[in-house]
């Protein structure tokens, strides 16, 4: 029987969580994007207000992917989504250096719900001005035992690499 995994995709506002889930999901992703009404509206038109949900089969394993909202005013959803998670992924926009310190806060919060394996993903690594992996490691204050890997969430193969890595960490538990 296939093992079933629940993986949370979190990260600061605009880091690419919805794009990540959409790139890899075998089913049409359930999204809850709404028009942005705060000052963030200059950055993009829509933001996730409750969750993204996608599902993918990888090497005979079934992965349920739950993307979180990025804006802090929707943080009441985090604990609900984290129920029975097997691991989580923290995406960071590699070009948005001011957002890096938020990653540590997210890690503390999600690890506090359940102590499960996690990864830091330096997303948008295709963009000019993207921080290097060591800059991301420093900026997010990731411990030396934490994996930080690059990603382009718009590319399925890149997202697949990240998922294989988190599944491996979960299996090692």
Ligand X SMILES: Nc1nc2c(ncn2[C@@H]2O[C@H](COP(=O)(O)OP(=O)(O)OP(=O)(O)O)[C@@H](O)[C@H]2O)c(=O)[nH]1
Q: Which residues bind ligand X (CB under 6 A)?
A: 11, 13-19, 44, 47-48, 69-70, 123-124, 126-127, 152-154
Residue 126's binding partner out of ligand X, Mg ion, none, with CB under 5 to 8 Å set by partner kind: ligand X
Q: How far is the CB of 153 from ligand X (least distance, A)?
A: 4
Judged by beta carbon, residue 129 or residue 143, the one nearer ligand X is 129
- Minimum CB separation from Mg ion for residue 1, in Å? 32
**In which residue are the tokens 């993307």 written?**
67
Site of interaction with Mg ion (CB under 5 A): 17-18, 48
Which CB atom, from 152 or from 170, has the smaller least distance to ligand X?
152
What is the C-alpha separation between 157 and 153, in angstroms, rounded? 9
Task: Please give, one letter per residue, the 3-state secondary structure of 70-89.
Answer: CCHHHCHHHHHHHCCCCEEE
How does 40-49 read in b/e, with b if 16+ C-beta sit within 10 Å? Answer: eeeeeeebbb
Residue 4's H or E segment, with its range, is strand 4-10
Residue 87 contact among ligand X, Mg ion, none, beta carbon within 5 to 8 Å by kind = none
Report the residue count for the chain: 173
* Shortest distance, position 32 Cβ to Mg ion, whole Å: 9
Q: Which does 127 bind (CB under 5 to 8 A by kind): ligand X, Mg ion, none?
A: ligand X
Spell out the alpha helix ranges (H) of 39-155. Answer: 76-82, 100-113, 133-139
Residue 3 Cβ, how far from ligand X at the closest point, in Å? 27
Nearer to ligand X, 16 or 54 (CB): 16
């Amino acid at each position: 029987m296939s093992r079933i995994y629940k993986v949370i995709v979190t990260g600061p506002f605009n880091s690419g969580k919805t794009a990540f889930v959409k790139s890899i999901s075998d089913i049409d992703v359930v999204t809850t994007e709404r028009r942005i009404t705060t000052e963030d509206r200059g950055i993009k038109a829509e933001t996730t207000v409750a969750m993204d949900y996608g599902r993918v089969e990888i090497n005979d394993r079934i992965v349920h992917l739950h993307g979180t909202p990025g804006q802090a005013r929707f943080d009441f959803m985090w604990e609900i989504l984290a129920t029975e998670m097997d691991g989580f992924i923290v995406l960071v926009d590699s070009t948005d250096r001011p957002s890096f310190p938020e990653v540590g806060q997210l890690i503390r919060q999600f690890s506090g719900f359940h102590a499960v394996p996690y990864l830091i993903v330096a997303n948008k690594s295709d963009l000019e001005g993207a921080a290097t992996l060591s800059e991301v490691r420093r900026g997010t204050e990731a411990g030396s035992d934490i994996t930080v890997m690059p990603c382009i969430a718009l590319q399925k193969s890149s997202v697949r690499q990240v998922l294989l890595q988190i599944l491996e960490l979960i299996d090692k538990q």
